[in-house]
Amino acid sequence: MKTLDNHPYIPATAAERVEMLRASGVDSLDGLLGDIPVEHRNPKINLDTGLSEQELSELFNSIASTNASPSNGYISFLGAGSYQHYIPSTVRSILQRGEFVTAYTPYQPEAAQGTLQVGFEFQTVTCQLTGMEVANAGMYDGPTAFAEACLMSVRVTRRNKVGVLTTADRRLTDTFVAYSKYQGLELVEISPDITEIPKDLACIAIQSPNFFGAIEDVERLTTVAHSNGALSIVHVNPTALGMFKSPGEYGVDIVTAEGQPLGVPMAFGGPYVGLFACKKVHIRQMPGRIIGRTTDTQGRVGYALTLQTREQHIRRERATSNICTSTQLMGLMVTVYTATLGKQGIKDVANLCYQKAHYAASEIDKLNNFSIEPRGTFFHEFVVNCPVPPREINAALLKRNILGGLDISDRSENGMLICVTETILKHDIDRLVSALSEIGSSL
Amino acid sequence: MTITIDANEVDRRLLMDRSLAGRRAFTLPGSDVPEQSLPDSSLLREDVELPEISQLEVIRYFSVLSQLNFSIDTNFYPLGSCTMKYNPKINDELSSLPGLSDIHPLQPDETVQGAIRLMKDLQDDLGEITGLPGVSLAPLAGAQGEYAGLLVARAYHASRHDEKRTIAIVPDSAHGTNPASAAMAGLEVVTVRSDEQGNVDVENLRELVNEKTAVFMLTMPSTLGLFEPNILDITNIIHDAGGLVYADGANLNALLGLVKLGDLGVDICHSNLHKTFSTPHGGGGPGSGPVMVSSELAKFLPTPVAEQTDHGYVLSQPAMSVGSINGFHGSFSIVVRAFAYIKALGCEGLKSVSENAIIGANYIQSKLKDKYSIVADRYCMHETVLSAANQKKRGVSGLDIAKRLLDFGIHAPTMYFPLIVEEALMVEPTESESKETLDHFIAVMRQIDDEIDRSPELIFDAPHELPVKRLDEVAAVRKPVLRWSPEG
Amino acid sequence: MYPSDLKYSKEHEWVRMNGNIAEIGVTVFAQESLGDVVFVELPAVGSSVVQFEKFGEIESVKAVSDLFSPVEGTIVEVNSAAIDSPEVVNEEPYGIGWLIKVELSNTDQLDALMDATSYESILQ
């Protein structure tokens, strides 16, 4: 195998390499590799040769074009944790700033004031949306934030049973189970109607809107939790917070959310960013990075990472979490998105989602073979009871370039979870409704 | 009264302090559906306190803030163990292509064949590069990859009814996530010493292994930037005791095409795509930390794994999977970028990456070791750990040197890590940097050493040229201010 | 630096006896090596402590240390000043920067502690 010269990503020339090797006191690279067992050095690696940028572009364009997406004519009614929203041009524009994109974690605050101030803004936005006192700079995604919130309730209460409502997304509980597998904890499923809980429960963890799209009675459940010394955790959809009361108003202790709906592309599931907020009193048990405001030696305002002793690089095996990222770039997208939408825009987008979803639900409910499962007030997702297994409906919809709702027949008989956001036009909803009507009558 | 405006002052006011009622940066379309009745008003909120500013102000605010950052695009960033290499622009462009950035994670497999195939191809490439063919791209960062790997190790022992194995042995030079992840996986952490050459103390390791050893976690190359010369003995010792060997692949940038971890007896490793495979760090994420395992362990991998079947590509759950460690399938748009990087370099290019990274680090080490001491006088891999112990004796700490470097537009090396080196300055130049840049860095480091005796105040008071001087981190903890509030 | 009327442990805590009540804090050496103290976590009044075992934590910006009780007994008072304004631990470690007061179950255990001279000798 020959060594490649002059790849665009590698500036050293052959002559410079020789010069640097000689300065290091060796004649060839092998002189530097003496610690690698010789019998395993320079193995055969079965990979293709490199492509030029143009070839790369052609290859990826052809890969991308094989996927069904809104950009090649498909309408999608999928939600369930990842949501299609319009992303303003400001978000895409700021995301071009290499100074944000190619910086590292702000360990040298003097050289990272941009990242740090944005992180402080992100914490502010998280607090304003959720109505909470403090927030961290971001978690990996919604489900990991939720799992970490459950673990945090265990640390705060020193109890080892975690209560999660039966109406929560299994992606949330599955992540908690994977996170807590060896922590000696027990997961207790709790009905949303519960009026009393076991005394040894660390928390009641609620998803609202829940997996089925419906708003839970967070206020009542929080009272139940508190009357037994447990914490109340709520996992929210941040878009819904443009219209529905914030968990902070109900006295909730920890709030988590999937930040993706706030300006982050769906991108086949990631990367996203988890929002994490709590009451100030619990801050030392909060996982993740936290940015604080302070001053420099001349009294000027500046920002720096703070409360770092909670974290793995200091507390090691006794840290609040092993996390050492805050998914800062997605946090930037959320911050630009919310700054762009502003006070009015966040209301408008929530209202549009609500209006369109409710229109879709009412039209589908009029069809002969389909009905809307009554689950109370919903935001922009709802369950349709189909006459046949939803996978059959979805297969027929796909032929009409429609990606139907999520098949949730494992949780609700012949149930299909449909999501409608502001990106869906009335025309698209009408197309779905008439397609369902056709499919239903051909059964 | 005269108000003096400082010409260099950057307007640091927060968004909410710039807000003026009625201003807008964006409008949404009107509703095109018949008006629907709203839910009971007791469920609804009044306003969300978000800023009201113009679109230009949004752009200017964030653009100006960005200029307060050091970044790879603008600065030499030799931050050890972080592999701050060039992040190719084409990768950002490709990951945001329609058809990749706008697909939903729960679409039926048949509608996302291109995406799943891309995942499968990257799995294969990572398996080939590391010699560990079982791959899951699910972990969202190195620490998650590490945790996933430890779950795999525990599942393996459990499948053999060998559940008494609850100890993770970790070198004293390990990164903090190693013990933190081990604790999350319910493992007790036992520390093995490093010897005076910076290697694992093999005799100490022999004393520590026993029938309770679940896993030995080793960073390869080590956080000292050294390749462990006794690696074959080490993996044998662990295997003979019935344990597994976990390699933290944070430093994989030193090994591409030069050695496969699987060939050395490693059973499990993770790789940080945001280090070795050039995806942007984003100021602290997103990351991606795929986990690679031997074929024997593949059935325990976290969900999902991309597979090729007779009916096309599918995302599937391995037979005895440790489960889902996050919401969906991993950091897909990071995966896209890493795959583009591997495709752009190819087999020869990847090898050249590691070769040049190693040559550059040794060049810096050889040019600075007379001024800044090194742990052992031996060649390093892709990074060198310098010690400012000599400088400390003359009254200047590693921190002071790091801050002074910022004045020269050079980001500080990783400081005070690994913990076993006094006044450590861990320097990783990466293959992306030209010899001119390395020479400049060397010259600056020598000049700073000179300044200690000539003009130490330049160093103590550094940085001089940045938007802020040293910050009061003590006050930030004692009286935390963590968000904007109307009171300021 | 190390008052002669106090007893010391090798974990850098000091004890001042007042009847059978032991006032406990950290030494000048401990607070100097830790740097600016930013947080102190102390147990509740009424809980018991075991000699040479952990009773709390003390933190600087970038370090955490366990606090080990030099004596065994029941906590009768914790210093809220140290919790609210941790800088007092740096400023007056033997005065208003004390941490807890413990009612001793027996005073024999004090024999396991050092006087100022022996303590200073282990710091060399």
CATH architecture of A70-87+343-441: Alpha-Beta Complex (3.90)
**Residue A339: both structure tokens together:** 């700054």
Q: Is the pLDDT of residue A1 over 50?
A: no
C-beta atoms of A69 and B282 within 8 A: no
What is A92-335's CATH topology?
Aspartate Aminotransferase; domain 2 (3.40.640)
Nearby residues of A37 by Cβ (< 8 Å), 6 or more positions away: B231, B232, B259, B264
C-beta atoms of B118 and A271 within 8 A: no
The span from the CA of B166 to the CA of B168, in Å, is 7
Q: Is the pLDDT of residue C64 over 50?
A: yes
Instruction: Using a CB–CB cutoff of 8 Å, tell me whether C72 touches chain A.
Output: no
Helix or strand run (H / E) with residue A236:
strand A231-236
Q: How far is CA A413 from the centre of its chain?
A: 28
Instruction: Using a CB–CB cutoff of 8 Å, tell me whether B477 touches chain C.
Output: yes
CA distance A362 to chain C (A): 57
Contacts of C61 in chain A (CB under 8 A): 308-309
Contacts of B478 in chain C (CB under 8 A): 38-39, 86-87
Nearest to C49 by CA among C9, C95, C1: C9
Lowest mean pLDDT among B129-138, B371-380, B439-448: B371-380
Query: Which residue did the predictor score with more confidence, A309 or B160?
Result: B160
CA distance A133 to chain C (A): 20
Helix (H, G, I), strand (E, B) or coil at A317: helix
**Residue B310: both structure tokens together:** 């007779």
Nearest to B22 by CA among A342, A347, A348: A342
Burial class (CB in 10 A: 0-12, 13-18, 19+), A300: middle
Instruction: Using a CB–CB cutoff of 8 Å, tell me whether A294 touches chain C.
Output: no
Contacts of C36 in chain B (CB under 8 A): 474
Query: Which residue did the predictor score with more confidence, B376 or A270?
Result: A270
Counting residues of chain A whose pLDDT is more than 70, the rounded percentage is 99
| Domain A70-87+343-441 matches domain A92-335 at the CATH topology level | no
Would the ipTM clear 0.95, i.e. be above it?
yes
Mean pLDDT for B360-376 is 96
Burial class (CB in 10 A: 0-12, 13-18, 19+), B31: middle
Q: List the chains bordering chain C where 3 or more Cβ pairs fall under 8 Å.
A: A, B
**Residue B154: both structure tokens together:** 């525990």
Q: Which amino acid is at B29?
A: P
CA distance B323 to chain A (A): 6
Q: Is the pLDDT of residue B480 over 80?
A: yes
Query: Which residue did the predictor score with more confidence, B488 or C41?
Result: C41
Counting residues of chain B whose pLDDT is more than 70, the rounded percentage is 99
Contact A290/A306 with Cβ under 8 angstroms?
yes
The pLDDT of residue C107: 85
**Residue C105: both structure tokens together:** 């179950």
Helix or strand run (H / E) with residue A163:
strand A161-165
The span from the CA of A93 to the CA of A350, in Å, is 24
Chain B interface mutation, best of C61, C62, C64, C84, highest count of B Cβ atoms under 10 Å: C61
C-beta atoms of B104 and A23 within 8 A: no
Nearest to C113 by CA among C56, C70, C66, C67: C70
Nearest to B356 by CA among B428, B430, B274, B276: B430
C-beta atoms of B286 and A329 within 8 A: yes
Nearest to B269 by CA among B119, B155, B82, B127: B127
Nearby residues of A241 by Cβ (< 8 Å), 6 or more positions away: A129, A130, A346, A350, B45, B48
Nearest to B284 by CA among A256, A272, A289: A289
Instruction: Using a CB–CB cutoff of 8 Å, tell me whether C117 touches chain B.
Output: no
C-beta atoms of B302 and A294 within 8 A: no
User: Which chain A residues in 110-129 lie under 8 Å from chain B, judged by CB atoms?
Assistant: 110-115, 117-121, 123-125, 127-129
C-beta atoms of C62 and A314 within 8 A: yes
CA distance C33 to chain B (A): 15
pLDDT in tens, A50-86: 999 999 999 999 999 999 999 889 999 999 999 999 9
pLDDT in tens, A285-327: 999 999 999 999 999 999 999 998 888 787 777 888 888 888 9
Chain A interface mutation, best of B66, B83, B440, highest count of A Cβ atoms under 10 Å: B66
C-beta atoms of C61 and A308 within 8 A: yes
Helix (H, G, I), strand (E, B) or coil at A402: strand
Helix (H, G, I), strand (E, B) or coil at B443: helix
Closest residue in A to B471 (Cα) is: A296
C-beta atoms of B180 and A183 within 8 A: no
User: Which chain C residues in 1-20 lie under 8 Å from chain B, judged by CB atoms?
Assistant: none
C-beta atoms of A284 and C63 within 8 A: no
Contact A130/A237 with Cβ under 8 angstroms?
no
Q: Phi/psi of residue A358, each to 5°?
A: -70, -35
The span from the CA of C12 to the CA of A183, in Å, is 33
Chain B interface mutation, best of A83, A102, A420, highest count of B Cβ atoms under 10 Å: A102
Q: How far is CA B75 from the centre of its chain?
A: 18
**Residue spans of alpha helices (H) in A106-217:** 113-130, 142-157, 170-180
Nearby residues of C26 by Cβ (< 8 Å), 6 or more positions away: C12, C13, C14, C58, C67, C89, C93, C97, C99
Taking each helix axis as running N to C, give the angle between helix B332-368 and helix A53-65, from 0 to 180 degrees, rounded to the nearest 10.
150
Q: Phi/psi of residue A409, each to 5°?
A: -65, -15
CA distance C64 to chain A (A): 6
Instruction: Using a CB–CB cutoff of 8 Å, tell me whether A309 touches chain C.
Output: yes
* Confidence category of residue B174, pLDDT binned at 50, 70, 90: confident
Lowest mean pLDDT among A36-45, A262-271, A319-328, B122-131: A319-328
Q: Which residues sit opposite C75 in a β-bridge?
A: C102
The pLDDT of residue A4: 52
Q: Which amino acid is at A65?
A: S
Closest residue in B to A83 (Cα) is: B104
Mean pLDDT for B171-192 is 92
The pLDDT of residue A313: 80
Mean pLDDT for B259-286 is 97
Instruction: Using a CB–CB cutoff of 8 Å, tell me whether A416 touches chain B.
Output: no
Contacts of B85 in chain A (CB under 8 A): 9
* DSSP character at residue B25: S
The pLDDT of residue B1: 60
pLDDT in tens, A112-165: 999 999 999 999 999 999 999 999 999 999 999 999 999 999 999 999 999 999
Q: List the chains bordering chain B where 3 or more Cβ pairs fall under 8 Å.
A: A, C
Q: Is the pLDDT of residue A2 over 50?
A: no
The pLDDT of residue B442: 98
Mean pLDDT for B224-242 is 97
Contact B214/B188 with Cβ under 8 angstroms?
no
Closest residue in A to C59 (Cα) is: A309
CA distance A281 to chain B (A): 12
Order of strands across the sheet that contains A406-407: A371-372, A381-385, A415-419, A406-407
Mean pLDDT for A223-228 is 97
**Residue B287: both structure tokens together:** 């990351």
Closest residue in A to C60 (Cα) is: A309
Question: What size, in residues, is chain A?
Answer: 443
Candidate CATH numbers 3.40.50.300, 3.40.50.620, 2.40.50.100, 1.10.3720.10; the one for domain C7-107: 2.40.50.100
Other beta carbons less than 10 A from residue A46's beta carbon: 10
The span from the CA of B114 to the CA of A68, in Å, is 9
Contacts of A309 in chain C (CB under 8 A): 39, 59-64
Q: Which of B154, B352, B473 sits opposite A4 (nearest CB)?
A: B352
The residue assigned the tokens 């931050």 is B79
The structural domains of chain A, with segments of one domain joined by +, span: 70-87+343-441, 92-335
Instruction: Using a CB–CB cutoff of 8 Å, tell me whether C64 touches chain A.
Output: yes
Burial class (CB in 10 A: 0-12, 13-18, 19+), A343: buried
The structural domains of chain B, ordered by start, are: 90-345 (3.40.640.10), 354-473 (3.90.1150.10)
Q: Which of A19, A303, A340 sits opposite B25 (nearest CB)?
A: A340
